[in-house]
Amino acid sequence: MRFASLGSGSRGNALLVEVGNTCILIDAGFGPREMVRRLERLGLVGDDVDAVLVTHEHSDHIGGVFACARRFDWEILLTHGTLAACRDDGAETRITIIDSHAPFSVGDISVQPFPVPHDVREPVQFVLADGVRRLGVLTDAGHVTLHMVAMLDGCEALVLECNHDTQMLAQGNYPLALKRRIGGLWGHLDNAVAASLLSRIGHSTLRHVIAAHLSEENNCPMLAQEALSVVLGCKRDWVGIATQTDGFAWRDL
């Protein structure tokens, strides 16, 4: 298995995962033209991608899903609630409705979805496996549930939301209502909560940990790396960062 990010943050998300002959995206927050540009950096074209798994209907995750699926003939997999919340009805696309608790496969990739608390209709995140190794992905969650901990336990790689630093959010320029939404129970994980999640899962098996969905206003990479590296007992820069502009390069698992 190898994985890479095309970009991560409130202006667009897309995570690539490749196993054998199968290549999928988790989310597509970029339109076709931008998607092509970002795929090119990783040596791929639109047709190389088989399917897109959608976590939820916020535009930074779904913004490019339907247009890209029509253009490149991607299968779209999403929950009933997420599809119901979309403006696009998915006409002329191949849509598969997934159950937020039921495992399924896309080609060579096994997928275990799990529900998360976020302020949308039916959000999910995913653990992807190639039969041997597991990659856990968690962004866009307002708090940590026991079920999330159970799902992410024992993964070999983890892409984990570190959205904000609570102090930077409190002292920043966002309107109060937005601060409350982001920091609330159905908003986003802050660095400290992400670190505490990490401390609750069996993290001795982890070969890759990447902080993702960082706010450009209310966080900085060093703070996220610091919070996670303390738990892992590793050097700060061992913790990867998925950036808005570049995502991160291919990592082999």
Q: Note the residues at the interface with Zn ion (CB under 5 A).
A: 58, 60, 140
C-alpha–C-alpha distance, residues 43 and 232, integer Å: 32
Q: Which pairing describes strands 75-79 and 104-106: parallel, antiparallel, or unpaired?
A: unpaired
What amino acid is encoded at 180 in this protein? Answer: R
**Residue 55 vs 229, nearer CB to Zn ion:** 55
* Structure-block tokens of residue 166: 């609570």
Q: Which is nearer to Zn ion, 58 or 164 (CB)?
A: 58
Q: Considering the complex, state which of residue 7 and residue 240 has its C-beta at the smaller distance from Zn ion.
A: 7
Minimal distance, residue 139 CB to Zn ion, in Å: 6
Residue 208 CA to residue 68 CA, distance in Å, equals 29
**Closer residue to Zn ion (CB): 58 or 134:** 58
Dist. CA 166–CA 182, nearest whole Å = 10
Cβ-closest position to Zn ion: 58
CB of 192 to Zn ion, least distance (A): 19
Residue among 35 and 129 whose Cβ is closer to Zn ion: 35
Q: How far is the CB of 24 from Zn ion (least distance, A)?
A: 18
Q: Which is nearer to Zn ion, 58 or 179 (CB)?
A: 58
Report the nearest approach of Zn ion to the CB of residue 17 (Å). Answer: 18
- Report d(CA 70, CA 186) in Å as an integer: 31
Instruction: Annotate 100-134 with DSSP letters as a single string.
Output: TT--EEETTEEEEEEE---SSSS-EEEEEE-SS-E
CA distance 135 to 206: 9
Give yes or no for a contact between 208 and 253, defined as CB atoms under 8 angstroms apart: yes
Task: For the CB of residue 179, give the shortest distance to Zn ion in the complex, in Å.
Answer: 16
CB of 154 to Zn ion, least distance (A): 26
Torsion sign, CA atoms 61, 158, 24, 90: negative
